[in-house]
Amino acid sequence: MGYRELIDSLRVECEEKARKIWLEAESEADRVRADASRRLDEGRDGRERSQSGALKILTESILSEASDKARALRLVTEKELSDRLYRIALNSLRHMREKGYKDLFSALVNELPHYEWGTVKVNPEDKPIAQEFFPDTEVVSDSAVSGGLEVTERGGGVRVVNTLDKRLERIWPEVLPGIMDEIRILVEKET
C-alpha cells in the first residue's frame, strides 16, 4: 500500500483548509498577545511610581497567562486540524480504488494468514474480485468498507481486518506529525 501516495493525496486535498485553520489560530494568538500587551501597558501606566518588583511580578503573570492561553488555543486548533485531516484521509481512500486496485486487493489478500475463511467482508464493488480469491467462502458486501477486506475463520476464532480504513487508522499516528510539520512550514512561509 502506498503511504507516500496517501500523504501526497492528503497534502493536495487539505492544504487550503489547513492553512485557513492555522491562520485563524495565529490570528487568535496575536489577539491574545495584543490583549496581554495592552494590559501590560495599563499596568505600567498605573504603576510607574510603584516598586519595580511588583511591576515585574505583574508583567510575568500577564505574560504567563497570555502564553498559556495561546498554547491552549494552539493545542485545540491542532486537534481540530488533525481530526479534519483524518476525515479527509478517510475520504481519500476511495481514490486508491481508481488505478491498480486489483493488485492492491491481491496484496492485501496475500498478507492474510492461512486459515479456512468462513466469511469475507468487502466493499460492494469488490464482491466479484473477492469471489475470485475466495471461491468457497461467503462474500458479504458492506459499504462501510472503503477497500480491502475483513475475513473471519469458519469457526469464528480468528478475524483479520485488512481494510484500507484500518490500515490508515494504524499508520495515522506515524504519518500525522510529518503532515503537521509540512503544514507549519507552509503557514510560516505565508506569514
The confidence score (pLDDT) of residue 1 equals 46
Residue 139 pLDDT: 96
**Per-residue pLDDT, 126:** 94
CA dihedral of residues 117, 119, 125, 129 (deg, nearest 10): 30
Phi, psi at residue 13, to the nearest 5°? -80, -25
- Rg (C-alpha) for the chain, rounded Å, is 26
pLDDT along the chain (191 residues), means of 10: 56 65 74 77 63 76 87 89 90 83 93 94 95 94 93 92 94 92 85 69
pTM listed for this prediction: 0.64
**147 closest CA partner among 118, 173, 121, 172:** 121
Distance CA 139, CA 136 (A): 9
Instruction: Please tell me the predicted confidence (pLDDT) of residue 94.
Output: 81
What domains does the chain contain, in order, with CATH numbers? 3-95+172-190 (no CATH), 100-166 (3.30.2320.30)
Half-sphere exposure in the Cβ direction for 77 (13 Å, CA) = 22
